[in-house]
Structure 1
Amino acid sequence: MTSNTRPEARVINLGSINIDYVYQVPHFVRPGETLAATARAVHMGGKGLNQTVAMARAGLAVAHAGRVGPDGGLLKEFLEAEGVDVSAIETDPSTPSGHTVIQVTPEAENSILYFPGTNAGITPAFLERAFASSNPGDWLVIQNELNGLDAIFKAAEKKGLRIVFNPAPWTDAAASVPVERVEALIVNETEARGMLGETELSGEALMRALTERTAAPVVILTEGSRGARVCCRRAGGGVSAKIPCWPVEAVDTTGAGDTFTGYAVRALVETAEDSDPEAKALISGLRFAALAAALSVTKPGAAGSIPTRAEVEAEAEKRGVVF
């Protein structure tokens, strides 16, 4: 499938684009230790790229905005093959693309070393070019493997874009972001605690503190193998719900959070004009996103493990689940 088969994008993902070097290891390497890996693979990745692939496979028309180096041709080709608009991906001939070194243990746990490369080159001039064709009311997805969060938020506000913010991975720079301006906030427990400056809260107490911290219409807290929580304050409502985790045999959890985020964006976009104060359609869409994330951990890799919408629907039918 090529980018010409999709309508003009209503969603822009401004995110990192990396080359992932994945090593299967008996355990995470310890200080001073030289450890032999049992296998190695190279994948296209980055939280931004993974989330874009998840959105595209979920059925959204999506454009990716970002920067790559002279080694980034394969990254752009990979996204184009997914039907993604790559016209806002720029090439910097003097800086390598971002890349990661990922260790994966037999228990499917991962540890990631990240080199930002061209991902650290976001400037106001780049943002002006990237958002040139955007219209008020379009969606912008932002995560935190890029520099210049303040400039990104200012440029998005100037254009009237609806923001979905996923501050992953958490850094102190994200603490100053005006989260009251976002349409939806998606965080895991580590990111939520960093945002709140709390280290002890978890579960319902953490979610309650998070919703008090931000006026975002939708707040989603992911809890790994325990599922997720959502608070929706759209349409004058104030609904909270627990999103269960679907049981699967885990092989590699690397892209699970990005898969959930991408499919969650699809749910947010498709229910944006929903007038139901109980947010039943959004909650159903997030349950679908959780199933997509569960399926992603049954395969190795990140972007390559993200299921298509048809695959998630087939799994739901197999389990006798109706969304």
Structure 2
Amino acid sequence: MKVLVFGSLNIDHVYTVSHFVRPGETIASDELQLFCGGKGLNQSIAFGKSGIDTWHAGAVGNNDSEMLTSYLQSIGVHTDLIQKKEAPSGHAIIQRTPEGENSIVLYGGANQMVTEEDVDFVLQHFTEGDFIILQNEINQIPYIMEKARKTGMIVVLNPSPMDGKIFEMSLEHVDFLILNELEGAALSKASSTNPDEILNRLMTCFPNAQIVLTLGKEGAVYGYKDRKYYQPIYPVKTVDTTAAGDTFTGFFMGSIISGKSVEESLKTAAMASAIAVSRNGAGPSIPTLEEIRQAFTHFC
């Protein structure tokens, strides 16, 4: 059984600011830092640090991708399936406030240059029962999902960032759906932001999918068939929330794939996210499994 994260790779430009810039306003940044990021890369890092042998597929630029592929390799993630394009790698402009909140502008770059031929090349290396992890920061997601399903792969979707492209996907074939409450409300067309209503509507719309709805400071809820579980957060001082959701996704699915129960997987993911938001950056903020074990001893 293999795990493939097919997703974005970004160079994050993180600007520390007193507040998010308003229309027409110019403000000075207190600091600029460069990090490896992108939802795909972050999730690959989380899978790798959770102990899962992980392959990453996606696209980067010919001339600016060394820091991205080298960082993945340093975690033990396989990078052989990453394609190089005659374009800049994707990047993000991130404003970060002293409270740890962030505002992000994405430039797709090479992330939006994946071809059907690229997808065919990647998926020929995987077989029935392998896992594929998808987000919404690269092109060709509907084609990737269709080919993966025909191969018999288990499809995990984190539909972020949420936009109209989500409704072009064959969502009835998703096996795990991991999303936040705003994405859940949009996808389920719920009439309120009440988590119970959102989860119930998602479970009705996608009865064959195991659903995890993340609720920020309110924790997370899981629903599948007649089972529901609630997981609170572990309180920490928040420094940077950039990779919190990706960390949760990687450690939840990493734990599930490792044979852990849903309850244990939720706890591990919540602890991993708590550690991540207490640190700067995206990929570098994601903890190791050993750090999570030590944190469990402290909190529990």
TM-score of the pair, normalised by structure 1: 0.90
In the alignment, what sits opposite 2:126? 134
Q: Deviations over 1:191-237 (max 9, x none)?
A: 1122123352321111111111102341100001110000134xxxx
In the alignment, what sits opposite 2:272? 292
Contact between 2:3 and 2:54, CA under 8 Å: does it hold in 1? yes
Question: Secondary structure of 1:13's partner?
Answer: strand
**1:137 CA displacement:** 0.5
Question: Secondary structure of 2:34's partner?
Answer: strand
1:307 aligns with 2:287: yes
Alignment partners' CA distance in 2, 1:268 and 1:183: 13
Q: 2:69 aligns with which of 66, 76, 92?
A: 76
In the alignment, what sits opposite 2:235? 247
Task: Give the aligned residue type for 2:140.
Answer: G
Contact between 2:146 and 2:170, CA under 8 Å: does it hold in 1? no
Q: Superposition pairs for residues 113-132 of structure 1, below 5 Å?
A: 113-132=105-124
In the alignment, what sits opposite 1:283? 263
Question: Secondary structure of 1:284's partner?
Answer: helix
Alignment partners' CA distance in 2, 1:216 and 1:179: 10
In the alignment, what sits opposite 1:149? 141
Q: Deviations over 1:19-64 (max 9, x none)?
A: 0000000000011111100011000000000010001001111000
Task: Give the aligned residue type for 1:249.
Answer: K
Alignment partners' CA distance in 2, 1:179 and 1:216: 10
Alignment partners' CA distance in 2, 1:250 and 1:226: 14
Question: Secondary structure of 2:261's partner?
Answer: helix
Deviates more, 1:153-162 or 1:110-119: 153-162
Alignment partners' CA distance in 2, 1:201 and 1:250: 24
Question: Secondary structure of 1:185's partner?
Answer: strand
In the alignment, what sits opposite 1:268? 256
Identity %: 36
In the alignment, what sits opposite 2:244? 256
Alignment partners' CA distance in 2, 1:98 and 1:106: 26
Alignment partners' CA distance in 1, 2:286 and 2:258: 20
Alignment partners' CA distance in 1, 2:57 and 2:161: 18
In the alignment, what sits opposite 1:162? 154
Closer/same/farther in 2, CA of residues 106 and 39 from structure 1, 3 Å limit = same
Task: Give the aligned residue type for 1:26.
Answer: S
Q: Superposition pairs for residues 1-323 of structure 1, below 5 Å?
A: 10-70=2-62, 71-92=64-85, 94-198=86-190, 200-233=192-225, 238-271=226-259, 281-319=261-299, 321=300
Question: Secondary structure of 2:199's partner?
Answer: helix
Gaps spanning 5+ residues in structure 2: where? none
Task: Give the aligned residue type for 2:84.
Answer: T
Alignment partners' CA distance in 2, 1:59 and 1:41: 28
Contact between 1:21 and 1:101, CA under 8 Å: does it hold in 2? yes
Task: Give the aligned residue type for 2:255.
Answer: A
Q: Deviations over 1:237-289 (max 9, x none)?
A: x2101111111111111110110010011122123xxxxxxxx8111111111
**1:149 CA displacement:** 1.9
Contact between 1:123 and 1:151, CA under 8 Å: does it hold in 2? no
Alignment partners' CA distance in 2, 1:97 and 1:160: 31
Question: How large is the RMSD of aligned CA atoms in angstroms?
Answer: 1.2
Gaps spanning 5+ residues in structure 1: where? 1-8, 272-279
Alignment partners' CA distance in 1, 2:100 and 2:29: 14
Contact between 1:16 and 1:98, CA under 8 Å: does it hold in 2? yes
Q: Deviations over 1:107-130 (max 9, x none)?
A: 111000000001001221100111
Alignment partners' CA distance in 1, 2:132 and 2:191: 30
**1:176 CA displacement:** 2.9
Q: Deviations over 1:164-202 (max 9, x none)?
A: 000011011102322221111001011112212335232
In the alignment, what sits opposite 1:275? none
